[in-house]
Every structure is written in structure tokens, then in C-alpha cells.
Amino acid sequence: MKRFDYARPMDLESAVATLSAGGEGTRLIAGGTTMFDLMKLDVEMPGRIVDINNLSELKTMETSGDELRLGALVRMADAAEDARLKAEFPVLSEALWKAASQQLRNMASLGGNLLQRTRCAYFRHGAPFACNKRNPGSGCAAIGGANRSHALFGGSDACIAAYPGDFAVALIAMDALIDVAGPQGRRTIPIAELHRQPGTQPQHDATLSSEEIIVQIRIPANAVGKASTYHKIRDRESYAFAVVSSAAAVRIENGVVADARIALGGVATVPWRASRAEQALIGRRIDAQTAAEAGRIAFEGATPLSHNAFKIELGANVVSDALMIAAGRA
């Protein structure tokens, strides 16, 4: 692992100033479960690390009001156990406890989890494999290689690496907002604008600048959270990334769908909202037929690769099952 110098600021303003002072090659660390991992692999090679774990203002969790506010340094395990999340937003709690292991959930921060980098093996394991995300301009070994775990949505000629996380997929279905602090002050972005598709610059996963820090995640506490689920299909029963996952939530009025939310994980370069499938459900009853139809619509436009075309049928079934589970909680 490359040597790095280390700083541990004590408040948010100082952390932003320290990031700026560090300049090129300076990275944040929170739980470290992605950053330290990738540093050991020489995929991330920062010369300077800013440890933000002492920023107490990022550790608060306020879930009692009209808006849930989850500090960026709240640990995944703690948010997963929050009583209101479990009761009124099962999609959020399930997305958290179905990710990683309890050891890693005790370490990983919510903000860091949103920015978790891809698990593409060519990205992680370096030479002799080409990877435009790791080494811009070198090519993409996955496009003609082993691409079972790669994206069917949102890829480009430069990169097809899948976004690996779960919580961001649930958050995009809940229309969450992300508060960010940087040298120019604070700003708020919808989570749908946090991640960026690879295009010609796959080295940039997110729309944040290198001097910005996620402060908190805000979720509108509306009625669409309760009848929800995060349905995650894995190669083993626990402690694995999604082969396909679906966040689903519905609000039923007079027996028909008034609001539907569907997002996909494991199959796209970014957390993927399936808006057309949502629209197709409005005003209809949820039953095996309409749920299956929504699942098929969610996977329309998918671009299968040589090893993952099976995910179109599997994914449609995952969405369908997720909708039935969610509707069962209405």
C-alpha cells in the first residue's frame, strides 16, 4: 500500500478546509470499508487521508418528525435497527441489514455506503486487466470478458461496471435528498443526481467534488414508506452483493395504486429508478398479473451482455415479487 499522511479534523468546517489544503490526491475516510480495502489493492492511492470520524455533527439520527434525517456518519447497523425505519420504512431497514455483514455494518457509514465503489473484478484487481474507471483510457476488460455481474442499464462503451450498493437503491425510491458541505458552503441534491453514469468518464462515480462532504440524508416521511420492501436475490443466502435487487413501495387508495416506487440494484451503473413500470401501476389493483407486467416493463430497454441476459427474466420476477410483498404490507 502506498504511504499516506493522515489528518483528523474535529468539525465540519475544519474537515472541508483540510480537504482543500490537502489538494490533489486527498481523500476522505469514514468507516474505511471501501477506502481501506481499495487502498490495499492499490486501486485507491491517496497521498493524504482526511479522517472524518470525529465530526460529531454528522452522527445524529432524527427519525421522529415529518422528515427523517440520517447523519452521514451514522453506522449502517444503527440505522438498520431504528424502530421507525423498521416499522414505517421497511425498504430502508431491509436494504441496510441485507447488505454486508454485521461487522462491516458496524463500521460503514451511511454517507460512505452511498459512495461505495463498484465490485467489478477488473476494477479491483488491476494489472494486467484494462479498466477505464481505475486507469482512464486503458479500455474495459469486462465488455468482452466475464460480465455476469455487470450492468444491463446505464453502461457505455467505456464502462459497464454495476453500482454495488443497496441503501442508495432504497433511497432513490423514497426520493431522498442529500445535504453536502464544501468550500462554497452547503447545497442539497436529490439522490437521483448523486451518482453519475460512466459515459466517457467512468473514473467519476459521483457528482460531488473532491472537496465536498456528505452531511446528512433526508427522507420525506410520507405514506409511501410503510408498504415497502427491499427484495434482494443473491448467489448465497446472506452476505453477498445483489445478483438483482428491487426496492418497491406502494400506496393503495380505494383498492388501487395511488403511488408506486420501483428501483433496481445490481443491474445498473447507478441506482436505477424504473419510472415507466411505476406509472403502469397507477390506478390499477396489485395482483400477480399487474405485478408481473410491471416487472417486465422495468426491464424493457435492458442491454444484456454475454453472461447476464438471464437477469432480464430473473429481474422481472424480482420486481414482481417485491411489489407483492410491498402490497401485502398496505
Query: Per-residue x/- marks for another protein, 7-46, CB under 8 A?
Result: xxxxx-xx--xx-xxx------x--xx--xx-xx------
Q: Are the CB atoms for 302 and 312 separated by under 8 Å?
A: yes
Query: With contact defined as beta carbons under 8 Å apart, do 121 and 146 qualify?
Result: yes
Q: Which three cell numbers stand for residue 228?
A: 415497502
Measured from the CB of residue 37, what is the shortest distance to another protein in angstroms?
A: 5
From the list 42, 56, 87, 102, which residue makes contact with another protein (rule: CB under 8 A)? 102
| Residue 236 Cβ vs another protein, minimum distance, rounded to whole Å | 8
Site membership for another protein, residue 6 (CB under 8 A): yes
CA 64 to chain centre: 24
**Integer Rg of the chain from CA:** 19
- Out of 4, 119, 130, 226, name the contact with another protein by CB under 8 A: 4
d(CA 107, CA 74): 9
Nearer residue to another protein within complex by CB, 96 or 312: 96
Q: Does 3 bind another protein (CB under 8 A)?
A: yes
- Establish if 188 lies at the interface with another protein (CB under 8 A): no
Q: How far apart, in whole angstroms, are the C-alpha atoms of residue 136 and residue 96?
A: 32
Among 68, 77, 85, 243, binds another protein (CB under 8 A): 77
Q: Which phi and psi (to 5°) does residue 268 adopt?
A: -140, 160
Min CB(265)–another protein separation in Å = 18
The reply on whether position 285 binds another protein by CB under 8 A is no
For residues 9 and 136, which CB has a smaller minimum distance to another protein in the complex?
Answer: 9
CB 32 within 8 A of CB 107: yes
Q: At closest approach, how far in Å is the CB of 106 from another protein?
A: 5
Question: Hey, what amino acid is at 193?
Answer: E
Distance CA 192, CA 213 (A): 17
To another protein, the closest distance from the beta carbon of 238 in angstroms equals 4
Query: Is it true that the peptide bond before 136 is cis, omega within 30 degrees of 0?
Result: no
The answer to the question of residue 53 lying near another protein (CB under 8 A) is yes
Q: What is the spatial distance between Cα 9 and Cα 18, in angstroms, rounded to a whole number?
A: 7
Of residues 107 and 327, the one with the C-beta less far from another protein: 107
- Residue 127 touching another protein (CB under 8 A): no
Binding of another protein by 139 (CB under 8 A): no
Q: How far is the CB of 5 from another protein (least distance, A)?
A: 4
Contact flags string 226-265 toward another protein, x per CB under 8 A: -----------xxx--------------------------
Regarding 5 and contact with another protein (CB under 8 A), the answer is yes
Q: Is 131 in the site for another protein (CB under 8 A)?
A: no
Residue 173, phi-psi category: left (phi > 0), alpha (psi -120 to 50), beta (remainder): alpha
Q: 3-state SS of 67-131?
A: EEEEECCCEHHHHHCCHHHHHHCHHHHHHHHCCCCHHHHHHCEHHHHHCCCCCCHHHHHCCCCCE
Binding site for another protein (CB under 8 A): 1, 3-11, 13-14, 17-18, 20-22, 29, 32-33, 36-37, 39-40, 48-51, 53-54, 77, 100-104, 106-107, 237-239
